[in-house]
Structure 1
Amino acid sequence: MNSLTTSATSAFRGLSLALALSLAVPGIAHAQGLFDPVVKVNGTAVTRYELDQRTKLLRLLRAPADPARLARQQLIEDRLKAEAADAQGITVDEEQIRAGMENFAAQGKLKADQMIALLERGGVSEETFAAFIRSGLIWREVTQTRFGAQVKVSEADLARARAAITDGTGVRVLLSEIIIPFQGRGEQQVMAKAREIADLTSTSAFSAQARQFSATPTRDAGGHLPWQPVTKLPPVLRPLVLGLAPGEVTDPLPLDGAVALFQLRDIEETDVAQPSYSAIEYAAYYIPGGRTQAALSRAAQIDAQTDTCDDLYGIAYGQPPSVLERGTKAPGEIPNDIAISLSRLDPGEVSYDVTRANGQTLVLLMMCGRSETGADAPLVATEGGESADGEPAAQDDTAQLSQQIAARRLESFANGYLERLKSEARIIEY
């Protein structure tokens, strides 16, 4: 929506060193075919090594798709983006790449060096992360240079957007869900099963899989969720769901210690106003034991004893402060597994299908409330707990809405341009 400390020169040196070592020790690289091409894009190769590295990177970043398939697609697009940048004389330097690394790492509240170290522990080189960031920076410059002047937001555009937020027709969806924990089965086995489920087109077959494998409260109902506005879905899920036809299933969506799949059963447009949300307030109470019967029983007991988020303070009384967390976050800041669980809840309702600490801690989530986006909606609280001054906040909302409209238009131009580049390219897959 998404660690480059070295430039293309550094990456080349790293690969050259690997090649040199493979020549010094006969058969290592060649036996494995690490540097054999898996794809050629207008004559430029994507190697098996690059594909393996990008796949590992996407898996570690928990990309919302099959990592191997997405990695191949991204690397093809990276070659096309680089060609477009060369044609326009666009480059990025080491300083820009480092800044891009820091910005990317900051999304996970890390420094670039911390993220690089974590990735390297997962088998992803710094050069691979650098290439990933570099491609994004280059494409941003390409699209801004090529289409930036065409993207203008008028007062009429802002008025229409506000009307769509508050008064317009909406879209609601009827979904089924499956969430399978890795614990007890192993990540590789679970992901293999998830890829099988993703190929299903029968709602009854999907429901059967939900009853057998899912760890959600909807398991006994075959994973069936009620009708819900698309605006209540987590940001990561909306584009995936809206890209489906009825009966189709999303690609496996990696979560923290689990994988999720969603099947679209039906979709409809309504005349009922369906607001979007700028902030979600929720509470998380941590119960030791993971998905053990004792922990689940404790969660059910707390559910029966509480009606509001304030009630959880009484449950947590006398325990360490870390046992209960409560806060307000923008939808995009909430971890995907928590966001998916919260999307099912109304204020005062709880769920307990999320775990932490490698499955050893059960998380009881309670929805406290949602703040609607729009002129009459409550303002998002600041960290100090007070609302910002009305007039500046309104100005900020207008600027933010304008930026969102411009970004969507620029993205539309960029996607169309990329599709044209693909259609004109000579792509050979091995």
Structure 2
Amino acid sequence: MITSRFTLLLRSALAALLVLIGLPATAQVATTELFKPVVTINGKAVTNFEVQQRMIMLKLFRTAGDLEEQAIEALIEDRLRFIAAEEMDLALSEEEIIEGEAEFASRANLTREEFLQALAGAGVARESFRDFAAAGLLWRQVVAQRFAQRAQAQVTESDIQRAISTTSRRGGGVKVDFAEIILPANTPAAAAQAERRAAELGGTSMSEAAFSSSARRFSASPSRARGGRIPEPVPIGNLPGPIAQAFLTLAPGETTDPFPIPNAIAIFQLRRLIDTDEPGDETTALEYARFLIPGGRTEETLTEAARIRARVDTCDDLYAVAKGLPPQRLTRETRAADDVPRDIALELAKLDAGESSTALTSGNALVFLMLCARSAATLEDDSPTPTLRTGNVAAPVEPAPDAATAEASEPEGTVPGVSEVNRRAVRERLVNQIVAGYAAGYLAELKANAIITYP
């Protein structure tokens, strides 16, 4: 089945492949060499052409390191996924493959046809992407059949209760010590690779060292230099709601499911939750300023950002910096917390008023992002009445008229205020975490038991 696709691959992509890699005519690989095996896994060959195609994809994804080594490693794992599916008599219909490709495309806000056209323009053959997607789709079926039922049996009502009850800690001062991996997804090809990598890293458990190593290799955030570690613990109420809730269901060392943010996918690892004596604040609104420095992320633009940082203490000071410049260079706005774009919200979560970040870019500009003010709702631990606090001014917030009724109507054995929908979501997440652990172990087992030879 694989060999029959090589001729199509060759006809559709050889010219683009040679142009993109930049090989002169005298250095072009002969057609027979393209079909020569590079490695064999349980009798299934990976050819030179496949490795070169995967290297193009890795190059498009801006992957650091030895691209040939990483391409071979990824293709070995894909072969093992195909072999596992074959042994279980699993196969994909044409409709399932098309749906899977469309799923990838939709995550890049493209139709399937637009996505394939963009990949082809970059030199990635249709069948290369088809195999890339099919390996993941088949592996999803393998993992579901082998481990889903076992994982569901392992999640008890006590596990769900324990995970949900942790959310009550939002009423107190909880800070989150965590690390991040921001996978670039600013092109269709990068989005596909980010989805694949996010599926491997998200919703699982790993050592801090392993997560830090992945952050240094794959993350596009400046935090990659620290292995993804955020220098200071962040008050949980500062974080975007879905990310904060995810942290509250994790144990130290576990990673969140992937979170889409503009032009990227984010994965976070919980290091620890820190209880403090401070009241818990939940951000309701954010005022922030964005000053654009043309040139993208370069030493020159970062140096300019440092000069600006030395000149400003508040957002008001940025008007002097922007004087005489096009008005679009500086924007300042106040938004409800839920309306702030997630990439901006994530950076603002790490800041106090007057602090700034240069982690983001916008088009071909570095973003100097400054937090002007944060409005927060505070729930005092010893008072059932929440207050809305902006700066040093606090005012009571009337409870919902049916709050007492809602609490009284909760089913026995549940956490007050937590809907059944939320309980199902927590259960699903716990199951997925267990399945992801089994899947990683099974792939490692397949690799250890495989006969892998290099001609």
Question: In 1, Cα distance between the equivalents of 2:55 and 2:283?
Answer: 33
Which of 347, 358, 363 is residue 352 of structure 1 equivalent to? Answer: 358
Q: What amino acid is aligned across from residue 423 of structure 2 in structure 1?
A: T
1:145-181 CA-to-partner distances (Å, cap 9, x unmatched) read 1222212133212112234566699984799x9xxxx
CA offsets per residue over residues 256-313 of structure 1, 9 Å max, x none? Answer: 8x894334899997673499x9999785624243417666655665652359xxx99x
Tell me how many residue pairs correspond in the alignment. Answer: 337
Q: Does 1:11 align with 2:5?
A: yes
Cα distance in 2 between the residues matched to 1:259 and 1:124: 31
* Conserved 8 A contact 2:147-2:438: yes
8 A Cα contact 1:285 1:324, kept in partner: yes
Q: Are the counterparts in 2 of residues 66 and 251 from structure 1 also a CA contact under 8 Å?
A: no
- Cα RMSD of the aligned pairs, angstroms, is 5.4
2:34 counterpart SS class = coil
CA distance in 1 between partners of 2:78 and 2:440 (Å): 13
User: In the alignment, what sits opposite 1:253?
Assistant: 218
The answer to whether the Cα contact below 8 Å between 1:286 and 1:363 also exists between their aligned partners in 2 is yes
Q: Is the 2:9–2:127 Cα contact (8 Å) retained in structure 1? A: no
Q: Which moved more, 1:296-305 or 1:106-115?
A: 296-305
Structure 1's unaligned 5+ residue stretches are: 1-6, 178-234, 379-388
Map of 1:158 onto structure 2: 160
Q: Is the 8 A contact 1:151 1:410 kept in 2?
A: yes
Separation of aligned partners in 1, 2:138 and 2:225: 33
Is the Cα–Cα contact under 8 Å of residues 19 and 29 in structure 1 kept in the other structure? Answer: no
Instruction: List runs of 5+ in structure 2 lacking aligned partners.
Output: 16-24, 182-200, 232-251, 254-270, 296-300, 379-383, 387-401, 407-416
CA deviations 1:339-372 (Å, max 9, x no partner) are: 88556434663212433333x4434254958999
Distance 1:280 1:371 in 2: 9
The residue type paired with residue 361 of structure 2 is T
Contact persistence 1:39–1:47 (CA under 8 A): yes
Q: 1:167 to 1:95 in 2, by over 3 A?
A: same
Instruction: Give the AA of the match of 1:349.
Output: E
CA distance in 2, matches of 1:329, 1:55: 39
TM-score, scaled to structure 1: 0.59
1:243 corresponds to = 209
State the shift of 1:399 in Å: 2.2
- Distance (whole Å) between structure 2 residues aligned to residue 57 and residue 324 of structure 1: 38
Q: Which residue of 2 aligns with 1:81?
A: 81
CA distance in 2, matches of 1:84, 1:422: 11
Q: Helix, strand or coil: the match of 1:151? A: helix
State the match for 2:90 in structure 1.
90
In the TM superposition, residue 105 of structure 1 has moved relative to its aligned partner by 2.0
Task: Tell me if 1:418 matches 2:443.
Answer: yes
How far the C-alpha of 1:426 sits from its partner, in A, is 0.6
CA distance in 1, matches of 2:423, 2:30: 57
Instruction: Give distance in 1, aligned partners of 2:115 and 2:2.
Output: 20
**2:314 corresponding residue in structure 1:** 304
Q: CA separation in 2, counterparts of 1:294 and 1:135? A: 45
Cα distance in 2 for residues equivalent to 1:98 and 1:297: 51
Q: Which residue of 1 aligns with 2:238?
A: none
1:251 Cα deviation (Å)? 3.7
Structure-2 change in CA distance of 1:40 and 1:94 (3 Å):
same
Corresponding residue of 2:35: 35
SS in structure 2 at match of 1:39 = strand
Conserved? CA contact 1:38–1:48, under 8 Å: yes
- Corresponding residue number in structure 2 for 1:395: 420
Aligned equivalents of 2:306, 2:433: Cα separation in 1 = 43
Say if 1:393 and 1:174 are closer, same or farther in 2 by CA, change over 3 A.
Answer: closer
Question: Quick one: distance in 2 between partners of 1:121 and 1:394?
Answer: 48
Change in Cα spacing, 1:173 to 1:327, as seen in structure 2 (3 Å) is closer
Query: Match for 1:106: what amino acid?
Result: S
Aligned to 2:108: 108
CA distance in 1, matches of 2:437, 2:227: 26
Distance 1:340 1:365 in 2: 13
Q: CA deviation at 1:82?
A: 0.8
Q: Distance in 1 between matches of 2:439 and 2:285?
A: 31
Aligned position for 2:19: none
Structure 1 position 102, deviation (Å): 1.7
CA contact (8 A) 1:278 1:330 kept: no
Give the direction of change, closer, same or farther, for the CA distance of 1:244–1:399 in structure 2 (3 Å limit): same
Q: Distance in 1 between matches of 2:177 and 2:303?
A: 35
Distance in 1 separating the partners of 2:338 and 2:60: 24
Q: Is the 8 A contact 1:166 1:273 kept in 2?
A: no
Q: Give the superposition deviation at 1:85.
A: 0.8
In 2, Cα distance between the equivalents of 1:279 and 1:76? 48
Selected match of 1:364 from 347, 363, 369? 369
Mapping for residues 148-227 of structure 1, pairs under 5 Å: 148-152=148-152, 153-163=155-165, 172=177
Deviations 1:376-426 (A, max 9, x none): 9x9xxxxxxxxxx99898333222212111111111222222122111101
- Which of 84-93 and 32-41 deviates more? 32-41
Amino acid at match of 2:71: A
Aligned amino acid, residue 285 of structure 1: R
Structure 1 position 324, deviation (Å) = 5.8
Deviations 1:187-210 (A, max 9, x none): xxxxxxxxxxxxxxxxxxxxxxxx
1:49 deviates by 2.0
Equivalent in the alignment of 1:50: 50
The TM-score with structure 2 as length reference comes to: 0.56
* 2:149 counterpart letter in structure 1: A
2: CA distance, partners of 1:283 / 1:237: 32
SS in 1 for 2:358: strand
